[in-house]
Chains A and B, each alone.
Chain A
Amino acid sequence: MKEQDLDQLIDSAAAQIVRREPSDAMTAGVMDRVNRLAPASGRPRLVWAGLAAAAVLATLVVVFHLQRTPPRMVETPPVAVRQAPARSVAPPAPAFTQNFVFEQVPRAQASSPKILPPAVVVADEQDAVVPLITIEPISSPPPIQVPGIEVASTPVEEIGIEPLHIEPLSASND
């Protein structure tokens, strides 16, 4: 048998094994099962929608709560702050000092946080600007005047003690 005939024979035999069509019952069975699954598959979507709504509600509650919370009052002395150099390719700008004074801000402004540029607190004494503080010497307090305390003295009478006389045992009443 020729090579080409053998190839044709193999192809035809293989095709006879697999080239068939499924029955309509199979398709009906698939759709029947799918239709039964369909309502169940819709449930997770409802669950996710509920969870999303709950998350939005929780976010709104948190935001409302934060808006009602009074801003914190921070009283700190002016702090020497040096701004960090920018991350751009440009050469680093010379360092400069700037004083920031923390003040109490109105409620409306407190709700929207301000984004400050990154800053680095310099601990170096050379760059720090420390305000001069005048310290008064400690003076001794004036002496306290205490009125004299009179204590009433009570006389103690003298106690007369007579010498103890012990009788011998044989002279007892027994």
Chain B
Amino acid sequence: MRAAASIGCVTDGELVERVRAGNTAAFGELVERHRGAVYRAALAALRNTADAEDVAQDALVLAFRKIAQFRGESSVRTWMVTIGWRLALSRRQNLLQRLQRLGQMLSIDGSDAGLGIAQISPAPSAERRVLDAERFAVVRREIGKLPSKLRDALLLTAAGDLTQEEIAATLEIPAATFRGRVMEARRQLKRKLR
């Protein structure tokens, strides 16, 4: 109990050093801290909870294997999310190719059934209760119809795990380009929802 408390106080950089020294428990703490961010980034790309969990697990294991290559140029969270994001994009590309080979008409820009998008019911909050359920579904569907570049930027922003600069670094684009994509995504959605 005391050990768990002490490990909870150390910084990510110190945990990385401990992992490099062979302390797998320190990596467990890193997983606890950042697994949500990695998972949500994968979910933004895949919009399927099962696929996102698979990718997030692979990403975290890959991070453990490549921990020696972490140079500290970015935060540990950004580094792990970037690994997860790249794996998720690869998975998304594979899914698209597989579906195209099967001849199924997939609308990546289409309905929730496209990539097996999870049916997410609104959480019971005061804000969401006000919203009309039908209109809410329409918005989600319209988000799915956005071009992938715009949709990725919008959903990573909505995840709320990274700053704009960190998301831009993850997407490997300038921060201004990222902000432009988010604005363009909003503009297109508003035009369709009016």
Binding site for B on A (CB under 8 A): 1, 3, 6-23, 25-27, 29-31, 33-35, 37-38, 41-42, 45
Contact of B131 (CB < 8 Å), options: A12, A35, A37 = A12
Binding site for A on B (CB under 8 A): 22, 24, 27-28, 31-32, 35-36, 39-40, 43-44, 47, 49, 52-53, 56-57, 60-61, 64-65, 117, 120, 122-123, 127-128, 131, 135-136, 139-140, 143, 154-160, 186, 189-190, 193-194
A34 adjacent to B64 (CB under 8 Å) = yes
The CA-CA distance from A21 to B60 in the complex, in Å, is 15
| Residues in A neighbouring B47, C-beta threshold 8 A | 17
A37 adjacent to B65 (CB under 8 Å) = yes
Is the contact region of chain A dominated by helix, strand, or loop, or is it mixed?
helix
A14 adjacent to B39 (CB under 8 Å) = no
A37 adjacent to B61 (CB under 8 Å) = yes
A14-B158, A16-B140, A31-B27 given; name 8 further pairs at CB < 8 Å.
A10-B190, A13-B143, A20-B39, A20-B49, A27-B32, A27-B35, A29-B57, A34-B28
The CA-CA distance from A33 to B63 in the complex, in Å, is 12
Identify the closest chain B residue to A35 (Cβ).
B24
A34 adjacent to B39 (CB under 8 Å) = no
The CA-CA distance from A3 to B36 in the complex, in Å, is 31
| Residues in B neighbouring A41, C-beta threshold 8 A | 22, 65
| Residues in A neighbouring B155, C-beta threshold 8 A | 14, 17-18
The CA-CA distance from A35 to B131 in the complex, in Å, is 46
| Residues in B neighbouring A31, C-beta threshold 8 A | 24, 27-28, 31
Q: Closest approach, in angstroms, between the C-beta of A37 and any C-beta of chain B?
A: 7
B160 adjacent to A19 (CB under 8 Å) = yes
A34 adjacent to B139 (CB under 8 Å) = no
Contact of A18 (CB < 8 Å), options: B28, B43, B60 = B43
